[in-house]
Amino acid sequence: MRHTFLGHQLKSHVMNAAGVHCTTLDELSILLKNTKGLIVTKTATLHPRQGNIKPRYAEIPGGSINSMGLPNLGIDAYINFITLNSMRAHRIILSIAGLSLNELIRVAHRANCSKALAIEVNLSCPNIDGKPQVAYDFQTTEYLLKQLGIIFDKPWGVKLPPYFDPIHFDQITELLNRSSVSFVTAINSPGNALWLDEDLKSVIVPKDGHGGIGGPMILPIALANVSHLRKRLRPEIEMIGCGGVETALDVKKHMKCGAQIVQVGTTLMKYGPHLLNELSASV
Ligand code: SIN
């Protein structure tokens, strides 16, 4: 089956979720060489970041919990990676974020000069102490969408956190429909969840044990978000489904709800990149 995204023909419609197997240059090289579809980089900030203290990722019943804190090599390292792999740059999405609006604007200017196919702006990282998820603040989101629309002259989209109320789907899609986004990725990990081990201690140290959750337990939330957004977004805005994918059937469910491309996080972390080709082959 042939798949298209942003006008490009793809050999696979299954890809990694930002943050999984895409932080180091080695991970990215392996992903790019061994998968057939798109890949997305770890969300990049202006400067390299160590992220939160370890342990910061754990498997828990039903999936995973993480509080990574945006460890990444800094935007320039990912732009250089894309330049070095320019023959395959049409398969690479560059994920970006900023710890302040000013930082995000600066990162966006740099990202716009890269050879990446597109830019995914992460408005939904739940793991930075003291920093709210941008996409839960509609006023700031509206401002940012306008500013980013002025900066980007290449395709760009946003990665959203999950919403849980119809009014919020109405509000966010109204803003997105007025913006120049080409695509929307839904969803990032439901944030600030908490899991306790048998000894009643939290499994993730940073942020008092709170973190974003992933894996099969979030599939219903992800599907509902893809479906609600698809029904409200302008038809030209393409959708990437993300969240809870473990099997080829889960990929199909995302597509049935309106996703063209499907990202895999926790399950990729568990089994490695070969899983992406397997999932796409069996759809
Ligand atoms: C993290 O690095 O904390 C995860 C990033 C994200 O969920 O956006």
In the annotation, is 125 catalytic?
yes
The answer to whether 32 and 92 have CB atoms below 8 angstroms apart is: yes
Displacement of CA 200 from its chain's centroid (Å): 31
* pLDDT at position 127: 87
* pLDDT at position 283: 60
Only one residue has tokens 């240059």, namely: 25
State the distance from the centre of ligand 1 to the C-alpha of 107, rounded, in angstroms: 17
- Asked whether the bond before 55 is cis by omega within 30 degrees of 0, the reply is yes
Q: 203-213 in b/e burial notation, b at 16+ Cβ within 10 A? A: bbbbbebbbbb
* pLDDT at position 256: 98
- Give tens-digit pLDDT for 153-171: 999 999 999 999 999 999 9
Question: Residue 258 — φ and ψ, nearest 5°?
Answer: 125, 5
State the distance from the centre of ligand 1 to the C-alpha of 228, rounded, in angstroms: 23
Task: Enter the tokens of residue 191.
Answer: 């944030």
The string of DSSP letters for 12-23 reads -SEEEPTTSS-S
For ligand 1, whether the C-beta of 68 sits within 6 Å is: yes
For ligand 1, whether the C-beta of 148 sits within 6 Å is: no
Which of these, 240, 269, 248, lies nearest to 10 by C-alpha position? 240
State the distance from the centre of ligand 1 to the C-alpha of 19, rounded, in angstroms: 7
Going along the chain from its start, the domains and CATH numbers come out as 3-282 (3.20.20.70)
Residues with pLDDT less than 50, the chain: none
* pLDDT at position 58: 95
CA dihedral 224, 228, 234, 240 (to 10 degrees): -10
Other beta carbons within 10 Å of 259: 26
For ligand 1, whether the C-beta of 19 sits within 6 Å is: yes
The answer to whether 250 and 223 have CB atoms below 8 angstroms apart is: no
- Give tens-digit pLDDT for 179-217: 999 999 999 999 999 999 888 988 887 888 899 999 999
* pLDDT at position 208: 84
